[in-house]
Amino acid sequence: MDGIWRSAPAPALRVWWHESPLRWAPNDAAIGWAAALGLDAGFWLRLVDQVHRQRGLSSAATFVADDRPEANCRRVDLEDGVLLWIEPAVPGLGESLAERTLLVASSIGVGFWSRDLDTGATLWDTQMYRIHRRDPQAGPPTLRQWLDDHVHPLDHGWMSERQQRDHAALEPVSEVTFRSPPHDGEVRWIQAWTRRLRRDGRRLTFGMHLDVTERQRFDTLAREKERAEQASRDQAAFMARMSHELRTPLNAVLGFTRLLTEDPDEPPSARQAERLQRVREAGSRLLAMVDGVLEIAKRPAEPAAEEPVEPAPPPGRTGRPVWLRGGSAVTQPDLFELPPPAPAAKPLRVVCVEDNDVNMLLVRELLALRPEVELHGAPDGLSGVELALRVKPDVLLLDLQLPDISGQEVMQRLRGQPEFAHSSWVALSANAMAEHIRQTLDLGFDAYWTKPIDFAQFLAGIDALIARYRQGSVATA
């Protein structure tokens, strides 16, 4: 009989008459049912008292406490006492609460408890003993025993202060997460919910405990993963900024050195040419060093085993590799594979949006070598949008870091309009980080040309555009 009522899904209370002092115990379903209704240990004491006073009465009785019906109890008389099967006054409520309590307790591992702060009377269900790895034969601990035996030493101080503060203020509800002492070398995390109330002038508490060790481990891993990802994002942003800041002045040094060296109208003397060659070689070595340092610095964020990503060209376009200084390469859509438009004989109209005066001057000097190109320049994104709407260019060279809006936003504002259906979009940037190039191409740019400008690649690209344009591969406005 003892095993049956203890494991029964319905609330039950066992009372032993012949023991001194009088001994009684609710089963787990009864403890869960009482906790769900906010009933404390005093309820069981009142119930036991009424059962004792009604000894000899019918085996079916209704017990009332605090002037409100709480339960109908069916009594089973035993040789050494009585067993009460508890049926809530509302039909069906007991079964529902008991089933729900058992489901939570068995599948999730919730433990229920209650304590009378004035008398010290305490009840634990089976799950509480399991959670705290306490021998049920020892019975539920006192509040001091619980702190000493079942709270980690590192949490003991603040937990003790928290309990004293909450009990003094009689906070209605509180929630804490704490560690249990090591057991076989393992520390478990416990989440506790506590409800406090006053009844008949007495301070009562009851609540639930749940072992959340696995969730705590998952949260810790998630936080570590987020920190690692944030560090990677911060590193990528820093490297992109460094790439831009270091390569931009090198673009001017190498670009204008070459323009001076190859100027057909004002060619340098032999001595000047030798000096310019020295500057150019030094600039090239510095650029290689910058790229090498940036490549090494980004390795923790991009594991060495990871293969370079080569995004597939959009439908209707082929792919061609654009090589970056330092040996890395990104496959991007071919700038010149466009839908065949009607032939035209006008110059190739190019709008270049660039806020750096030196870079804009370098582009002007380069495109001056191509009389077939009609260049229009804008110093920021908004004026670039206005200029493009007025000029309706065939090609847009867009710096990505502009003082007002980004080059990406310039493209997004213009690309959907019919007059730009056959325009080509080229990102022109000192940010040579491969991931940034991939992201930019994914936004819809047709090509990504890096700074310092490679004269041969830049002019080859322009020449290809001119040739395709003359053959009718680039639409006119």
pLDDT digits (tens, 9 = 90+) for 289-320: 777 776 766 665 444 444 443 433 333 333 33
CATH number corresponding to 232-470: 3.40.50.2300
Fold category of 1-107 in CATH: Beta-Lactamase (3.30.450)
Select the CATH number that applies to the domain covering 110-211 from these four: 3.40.50.2000, 3.40.640.10, 3.30.450.20, 3.30.750.24: 3.30.450.20
In whole angstroms, what is the distance from residue 423 CA to residue 339 CA?
A: 10
* Burial state string for 90-111 with b = 16 or more CB within 10 A and e = fewer than 16: eeeebbebbeebbebbeeeebb
Mean residue pLDDT of the chain comes to 76
Q: Is the pTM of this model over 0.85?
A: no
Q: What pLDDT, on a 0 to 100 scale, did the predictor assign at position 435? A: 81
Where do the domains of the chain lie?
1-107, 110-211, 232-470
DSSP bridge pairs for 205: 115, 196
Do 1-107 and 110-211 show the same overall fold? yes
Q: At what angle do helices 213-261 and 357-367 cross, to 10 degrees?
A: 50
Higher pLDDT among residues 316 and 4, named by residue: 4
Residue 211 in contact with residue 109, Cβ under 8 Å? yes
The predicted-structure confidence for 356-401, as pLDDT tens digits, reads as follows 888 888 898 889 888 899 999 999 999 999 999 999 999 999 999 8
Name 340's Cβ contacts closer than 8 Å, sequence gap at least 6: 472, 473
Alpha-carbon span 436 to 458, nearest angstrom: 20
213 CB burial (10 A radius; 0-12, 13-18, 19+)? middle
Query: Do β-strands 81-88 and 60-65 pair in parallel, antiparallel, or remain unpaired?
Result: unpaired
Q: Tell me the two tokens of residue 122.
A: 């305490």
Q: What is the per-residue DSSP string for 396-442?
A: EEE-S--SSS-HHHHHHHHHTSGGGTT-EEEEEES---HHHHHHHHH
- Coil vs helix vs strand at 261: helix
HSE on the CB side for 149, CA within 13 Å?
Answer: 14
Cα separation, 23 vs 410, whole angstroms? 82
